[in-house]
A and B are shown apart, each in its own frame.
Chain A
Amino acid sequence: MSKFAKKKDGEVPAVSTASLPDIVFMLLFFFMTVTVMKDSSVKVANELPQANEIKKLEKKDRVITIYVGAPTKEYTKTFGTEPKIQLNDKFANPNEVGDYILMERAKKSQELQNVLTTSLKVDKEANMGLISDIKLELRKVNALKVNYTTYEGDAFKN
């Protein structure tokens, strides 16, 4: 009699999953675009110090990174426990820093070569002696713009 056909009992209409792939793809594209593949693994302890008066390093292609810290467990046998410099994938001495910077600089395009920043990712337990050796090397190759990369936080906790 009624205009509306009675629904059969207990039958819940299935939720359409047709748009699920679209949603997933959207997420997928987001993560694909923001992903930066790591090109080298860090072989040193790298607990950065904290600071709050910091500036962001905006453009990734203008940054050369130098890691400093005590070698991690698997390398302590061969390299000891004193803080070391890591350039790309290998441990290095302070006098190799200059060559490394020049090499990295040569890889960049012409217009970027003058605006490069050297990011120093130094473990907070490292000593200043090693850092000043690095700074001297950087000055020798005229890579004067440095960034002491830190975590954001309370500087007095260092």
Chain B
Amino acid sequence: MARRAGAPEVSAGSMADIAFLLLIFFLVTTTIETDAGLDRMLPPIEPPETDVVIKQKNIFQVNLNKDGQLLADGELVQLNQLREKATAFLDNGGAVSGSPDYCNYCKGKRDASSSDSPAKAIISVKSDRETKYGTYITVQNELVGAYNDLRNREAQRLYKRDFTDMEAEYLNPETDASVKEDLKKRVKRIQELFPQKLSEAETSSSSN
């Protein structure tokens, strides 16, 4: 009786070649990109029912003209000074101690002619139609940076950790649900201390 050999072996020698071919295809077509950018909420189109009266001193007006020059609160400033100015404005805490707006964590100058408290302070950005987008992003970046600096300061004081770090972990979908719950409270708390109030006014045309 002839000894039955097992099923004839299939040569797997070319498997590597085939796999390489596929591998190279995917290597070439892959673009590993995670998009990142500045998050912003636009104001709703319908105006609020009641007119809110905002004191002039609580508004930090940033105007950007078509040549990329910057007017912050009536003064011509350089782009790299904007963060400092915005921080000073937000952190001012001008309300007198004892009033409902009094800000006990502010470390600013407490100048009565500047913002009352971070909760009241509004930064308004206005740009020209011909302003370069790149410059606009720089301004936005600096303003977000001012908020982040202040929030980091408070987060360090309360939780010994940077706010941006906590927020990134909170937003990361891989973070555990229990950790997230904990972080949510902290992030909320800090956001309440320095709410981001960046108003985006419509752009004006240079002709008028």
* Distance between Cα atoms of A123 and B79 in the complex (Å): 20
CB distance from A31 to the nearest CB of B (A): 4
Q: Taking the complex as formed, is B133 at the interface, i.e. its CB lies under 8 A from any CB of chain A?
A: yes
* Distance between Cα atoms of A38 and B130 in the complex (Å): 32
Q: Taking the complex as formed, is B195 at the interface, i.e. its CB lies under 8 A from any CB of chain A?
A: no
Identify which of residues 1-56 in chain A touch chain B, using a CB-to-CB cut-off of 8 Å: 17, 20-21, 24-25, 27-28, 31-32, 34-38, 49-56
Closest to A19 in B: B16
Q: Taking the complex as formed, is A105 at the interface, i.e. its CB lies under 8 A from any CB of chain B?
A: no
Interface size on A, residues (CB 8 A): 57
Q: Taking the complex as formed, is B101 at the interface, i.e. its CB lies under 8 A from any CB of chain A?
A: no
- Residue in B12, B30, B42 whose CB lies within 8 Å of A34: B30
Whether the Cβ atoms of A31 and B137 lie closer than 8 Å is no
Closest to A135 in B: B42
Closest to B26 in A: A31
CB distance from B152 to the nearest CB of A (A): 11
* Distance between Cα atoms of A140 and B79 in the complex (Å): 32
* Distance between Cα atoms of A25 and B20 in the complex (Å): 8
Known: A128-B133, A144-B44. A51 touches B37 (CB 8 A): yes
Whether the Cβ atoms of B168 and A57 lie closer than 8 Å is no
Whether the Cβ atoms of A55 and B38 lie closer than 8 Å is yes
CB distance from A122 to the nearest CB of B (A): 5
Interface size on B, residues (CB 8 A): 57
* Distance between Cα atoms of A129 and B132 in the complex (Å): 9
Chain B, residues 79-93, CB within 8 Å of chain A (1/0): the string is 110000000000000
Chain A, residues 124-158, CB within 8 Å of chain B (1/0): the string is 11111101100110111011111111101001101
Known: A24-B19, A135-B42, A140-B45. A148 touches B79 (CB 8 A): no
9-residue interface stretch from B48-56, B69-77, B105-113, B141-149: B141-149
Whether the Cβ atoms of A54 and B12 lie closer than 8 Å is no
* Distance between Cα atoms of A58 and B175 in the complex (Å): 12
B20 CB contacts on chain A under 8 angstroms? 24
Identify which of residues 21-77 in chain B touch chain A, using a CB-to-CB cut-off of 8 Å: 22-23, 26-27, 29-45, 64
* Distance between Cα atoms of A26 and B16 in the complex (Å): 11
Whether the Cβ atoms of B171 and A56 lie closer than 8 Å is yes
Whether the Cβ atoms of B16 and A21 lie closer than 8 Å is yes
B41 CB contacts on chain A under 8 angstroms? 144-146
Q: Taking the complex as formed, is A63 at the interface, i.e. its CB lies under 8 A from any CB of chain B?
A: yes
CB distance from B183 to the nearest CB of A (A): 15
Q: Taking the complex as formed, is A119 at the interface, i.e. its CB lies under 8 A from any CB of chain B?
A: yes
Closest to A32 in B: B26
Known: A24-B19, A25-B19, A132-B202. A57 touches B79 (CB 8 A): no
Known pairs A49-B134, A58-B172; list 10 more (Cβ under 8 Å): A31-B30, A117-B39, A125-B132, A126-B132, A127-B131, A128-B132, A136-B202, A142-B44, A150-B37, A150-B38
Q: Could you show 20 A-B contacts with beta carbons less than 8 Å apart? A: A24-B23, A35-B29, A49-B133, A54-B36, A54-B37, A55-B39, A55-B167, A119-B37, A122-B133, A127-B130, A128-B129, A128-B203, A129-B203, A139-B45, A140-B45, A144-B44, A145-B41, A147-B39, A149-B36, A158-B138
